[in-house]
Structures are given as structure tokens and as C-alpha cells.
Amino acid sequence: MSTATTATPTRTGRAAGATADYLDQRTSVGGAVKEFARKVFPDHWSFLLGEIALYSFVTILISGVFLTMFYVPSMNEVEYTGPWVTQQGLHMTEAYASTLRLSFEVRGGLLMRQIHHWAALIFVASIVVHMMRVFFTGAFRKPRELNWVVGFVLLVLSLLAGFSGYSLPDDVLSGNGLRITDGVVRSIPVIGSYLSYFIFGGEFPGTDLIPRLYTVHVLLVPALILALIGLHLLFVVLHKHTQYPGSGRTDKNVVGYPLFPVYVAKAGGFFFVVFGVIALMAATMTINPVWNYGPYDPSPVGAGAQPDWYMLFLEGALRLMPGGPTEFVIGQYTLTLNVLIPAVVVPGILFSALALYPFIEAAVTDDRREHHVLDRPRNRPFRTAFGVAILVAFFILVLAGSNDIIATHFLLSINDITYVFRVLIFVGPALAFWFTKRFCLSLQRKDRELVLHGHESARIVRFASGEYIEVHKPLDEHERWLRVQHDPLRPLEIGPAEDARGVRRKGHRLDALRARVSRVFYEDRVEPVTPAEWLAAQSHGEHDALEAPAATQAPQLTGGGRHLVEPDVQDGERRPTGGGRNLVEPTDPDGTDRRG
């Protein structure tokens, strides 16, 4: 006989329960929390890139609150009397003086400044790498096109936040960056001079810029970023998470772990890892030592005046643009092409193409289906090659923005370096595109070879007839599924220009254009292995006796690349493989879906 005992709730437990019940009755939050806690997320290291961006931004907010207590956003001039001896008696703005005070007089101020700066650099870097992962795996496809646009706007806002914060100390380095910004703004036809006057409150540098940048940096941009982060995460929950291809993973399910308690614990721990790494970097690696530059003065000019890495590509574009007769006077306006083209036109085209790419790809490929399983980059050669070409162009511009540093460190001619980069900016992306596309197609051919013939085993067998063969090790069902699950991709086929009555069909020209562009995407392709090809490859005549048992156990083929493999079948019965690793959607013998 056993007796059941019920623990008496403690006073704290009763208070917590009453509070939760009070909130649930008035907000109905209990259902939302219950639903959200059951949300399943796949487990892959690359999904942590977005979390790094989120946790870096949280670190920026925490350190930024500390800095706002001591920083003075004013351009009023004062005489410095602090402990930094080399600048005592110098006239400087209150913004720069307060930055020196933060660095040398406020306890922990320098550490917090460097935590803030390193977190900003990592924030932008993690957004860029996260978007690269989304781009190369096709995670931007329907229904996530709008979420891609949200992420793109977050990237632009992160650049604005970084640039506005970088300019606040009002030192020589940031002042030179603002001088370049003024030149870029003024190069915009018609509205450039008015826009510059509005930003700086008069002629550069004016007396209102630092307070305006401070408002943008601590109020406007963070509020927009927080709102878009919330929207971004809401889309992730609504659309369910993407997952990498593998056996048992389809567009109708998610293989992973629930948010609570697995991912809650992992996310909490990962935040402290990110914060700890940033704090360690800030404590051991100097970043932006403004005391070495001095207060802003337009007269000092020297090598090594580079902005933070995420703005260095603009610096490189400006340095590569030739001078010469690139200014034209039209009426009362001066058109400065050597600034307008590299700093406005080219970035505008590239950023617009990046923002609109999901819609462009969907239009030219006529792909209207929902996608929740990611692409392997090798299976999308054009997209992968295009992305690599853009990255190569970016890195060339970054190096070009440091041409003076390269010249002084390696004792080279800065003119020769500039000429080399001017050639590379055209040749490098083209070569990168060609090589990457060929590489992806080669990997696809290798996948076909493995599916049809298996892995080389280095086992050589001689038959009685004297023939020598190498016995290949067949792929298991999981590896085979990974290599054949993608759909065949082919250029669009359009109807005739005229209908049966000889009337020209509306929209034919647009369809013809889409067909031509789709050939650029998919004309060079490698088809996935078909069931007929796989069956033919398994028939080796007298060689069959040498193959492993799994090779002679032909799965039931249902047609199409993604249906090439089926779950393990033994004695006519389906054996579960566990852990969501079924190779096709689980169905009853009568063909009905059992997922629920």
C-alpha cells in the first residue's frame, strides 16, 4: 500500500502562481507562451550567426547606456586640462574632451568604449555573414522574401549606426570621414548642396553636426533596429525555421528541438559566450585610440586614415576612380563623376540588386512554391558564383581603400598598387564567377558519380576471365538522399509568339526576356540522378556478387530525383530509422499521411 503526498506551496510559489494567473486572465499570454515554447528549431551551427548579431546589439545597448552618462554631444570649444599631457592646453570640442575624459578619468570608461566599438564591428560583421548564409542557401525564397528585405534594411541601419557612432568623438580620423561624406553628398546632382547644408547646419563642419549625429545614433537608429529585429523574429516564428537538406527533412516538417527548454538554455549560455569574447577583445586589443589622432583639424594629412572595415569599400571605390576630365557644368550645376559614380551610383546599384534579388530570381525562374528546405550551394551554380563575385569585388575595394598602408608596409609604389586594383576590380569578379560556377558543376558531377557507383574502396578483384575491377562501396540511404533530393532546374519554356488564330500573344516579349535570363541561370546545369539511371548503374552482371548487400537491395523508386531513395525495407516491412531521419514522408500502407 502506498500513500501519495502533496507538497504545500511556499509563499513565493503562491505569489508567483497568482501573478501568472493575473497576467494570463488579462492578456491571454499563457497560450502564446505555450505555443511559442513548443516551436521546433533545427540545430546547425550556422543558425547561430543571427544570434551573434542579436547578442552583439544587446552588448551595444548595455555599453552605450554607460557611455551616454559621460559623453557630451557638443561642438562648443574648450581648453583641455586633463591628464593626457600631449594635448594639455589644446582647444577642442566638448565632444572630444569628454571622449578623453571617458578614456582616462572615468573608471572602466576605456573598457566600455572598446566593448562598445568591438561589439559594433562584430554586429555588422555577423549581419553580413548571416546574410551570406541566407543568400547562398536560398533561405530568402518564398515565403521569406519580405524577411530578406527586413534583414537588408537592418544591414543598412547597422552601417548608419556604426558611421554615426564612429564620428561622435570628433577626432582627426572621424573628421576626415565626415569631410569625405560632405563631398559625396555634394556630388549628388541638384539636391546635393541643399542636402549638405541640411545635414551640417551650414557650411562644413558647422556647429550642429555632433548633436544631430548623437540623436541619430542613440535614439533614431536603435529604435528602428529594435523594431525591425522584433519584426524579423516574428517572421521566423510565423514561417517556421528553414533546415538543411537531409533524410526526413521536407518542406512540410521541421526536424529539431523545441524552443523550451533546449534552445532557451542554449541561447542564454551563448549570450554570455558572445559577451565574454567581446569583453576579452576589448580588454586586450586597442580600438580607435582617439588620443593619438588629436581633435579634428582639416590641415593634417597623412597615410593610414581608414574608416571602420564596413565603410572601407566606399573609400576604396573613391581611391580607384580616375581623375581627369570627369567634371561637367550643366547650367548652374557641376556634375562630379569621379565622386558620384564610385560613391553613389555603383553602391546604389549593388545595394538595390541585393535587396531585390529574391524577387528577381523568383521572376526569371517562375518559382512560386514555398521552400523550407535549404539549397546546397553547389546545386545553384549561378547564384553561388554571383555571390562569390560580389564578395571578391568587395574585398578588392577594401584592399584598395588601404592602398597607402600596403605601399608603406611593403615599400611599393602607391600608383602601381592603384593601377593593379583598377584592373582587378573588373577581372577579379569575372574570374571568381567563372571559377565558382565551374567548381559547383564539378561538385554536382561528383555527386552523380557517387550516387551511381559509390565510394572507391581500393579493393581490386580479378575474375576467372582475367578481368580486374575495383569494388565500390555503395552509399547508404541517408547520403544518397542528400545528393539527389533537389529538383532538376531548367530554363523557362515559353509558348509561341502567336496564338492559334495568328494573333500576337500579350506578354510574349516579357516572357521571352524572362526566358533569356533564365537561360543565364540554368543553361549550364547537371541533372540529378533519375531512378532509371540508378537502376541501370546497379546492374553489373557477374559483378553483382561482389557488391555489399545494401547495393543489391534496390529501393522502391517512384520517379524524380527527390524520390530516388526510400526508408529501409526488410522482409517487405518498413523499418523506422528514428530521430526524424526517415528518408521520405511517413505514410500508412494505404498511402495516407501519418504526421498529424
Rounded average pLDDT over 218-232: 95
Q: Which of 449, 472, 59, 64 is nearest to 276 (CA)?
A: 59
Which pLDDT tens digit goes with each residue over 339-384?
Answer: 888 888 888 988 999 999 999 998 888 888 899 999 999 999 999 9
For residue 473, list its beta bridge partners: 455
pLDDT of residue 222: 95
pLDDT of residue 393: 94
Residue 135 reports pLDDT greater than 70:
yes
pLDDT of residue 306: 82
pLDDT of residue 131: 95
Higher pLDDT, residue 571 or 411:
411
Residue 319 reports pLDDT greater than 80:
yes
pLDDT of residue 4: 53
Residue 575 binned pLDDT confidence (cut-offs 50, 70, 90) = very low
Higher pLDDT, residue 369 or 504:
369
325-334, 343-352, 389-398: range with highest mean pLDDT: 389-398
Residue 595 reports pLDDT greater than 70:
no
The torsion angles phi and psi of 60, rounded to 5 degrees, stand at -60, -45
Left if phi > 0, otherwise alpha if psi is -120 to 50, otherwise beta: which for 106? beta
Rounded average pLDDT over 398-409: 91
Higher pLDDT, residue 526 or 385:
385
In percent, the amount of the chain with pLDDT more than 70 equals 87
CA–CA separation, 35 and 38 (whole Å):
5
DSSP, residue by residue, 465-519: TS-EEEEEEPPPHHHHHHHH-SPP--------SB-TTSPBPTTHHHHHHHHHHHH
In percent, the amount of the chain with pLDDT more than 90 equals 39
Residue 569 reports pLDDT greater than 70:
no
pLDDT of residue 38: 75
The chain-wide mean pLDDT, for the chain, equals 83
pLDDT of residue 533: 83
pLDDT of residue 423: 96
- 3-state secondary structure at position 587: strand
Residue 541 reports pLDDT greater than 80:
no
- 3-state secondary structure at position 106: coil
CA–CA separation, 316 and 405 (whole Å):
12
Higher pLDDT, residue 329 or 562:
329
CA–CA separation, 120 and 295 (whole Å):
23
Could you tell me what percentage of the chain is helix, strand and coil, using 3-state DSSP and rounding each to the nearest 5?
60, 5, 35
Q: Which of 551, 553, 564, 568 is nearest to 471 (CA)?
A: 551
Nearby residues of 510 by Cβ (< 8 Å), 6 or more positions away: none
Rounded average pLDDT over 512-537: 84
Using an 8 Å Cβ cutoff, are 261 and 275 in contact?
no
CA–CA separation, 334 and 63 (whole Å):
44
CA–CA separation, 258 and 260 (whole Å):
5
Rounded average pLDDT over 418-438: 95
Nearby residues of 429 by Cβ (< 8 Å), 6 or more positions away: 389, 390, 392, 393, 396
Indicate the range of 145-159, 260-274, 388-402 predicted with least confidence: 260-274
Indicate the range of 11-15, 185-189, 241-245 predicted with least confidence: 11-15
Which pLDDT tens digit goes with each residue over 155-204?
Answer: 999 999 999 999 999 988 888 888 888 888 888 888 888 888 888 888 88
Using an 8 Å Cβ cutoff, are 547 and 474 in contact?
yes
The torsion angles phi and psi of 344, rounded to 5 degrees, stand at -125, -55
CA–CA separation, 88 and 182 (whole Å):
30
Q: Which of 169, 16, 142 is nearest to 87 (CA)?
A: 169
Residue 481 reports pLDDT greater than 90:
no
pLDDT of residue 263: 81
Residue 480 binned pLDDT confidence (cut-offs 50, 70, 90) = confident
109-118, 477-486, 576-585: range with highest mean pLDDT: 109-118
**Domains of the chain in sequence order:** 39-307 (1.20.810.10), 451-497+505-540 (no CATH)
Crossing angle of the two packed helices 109-137 and 381-400, in degrees rounded to 10: 150
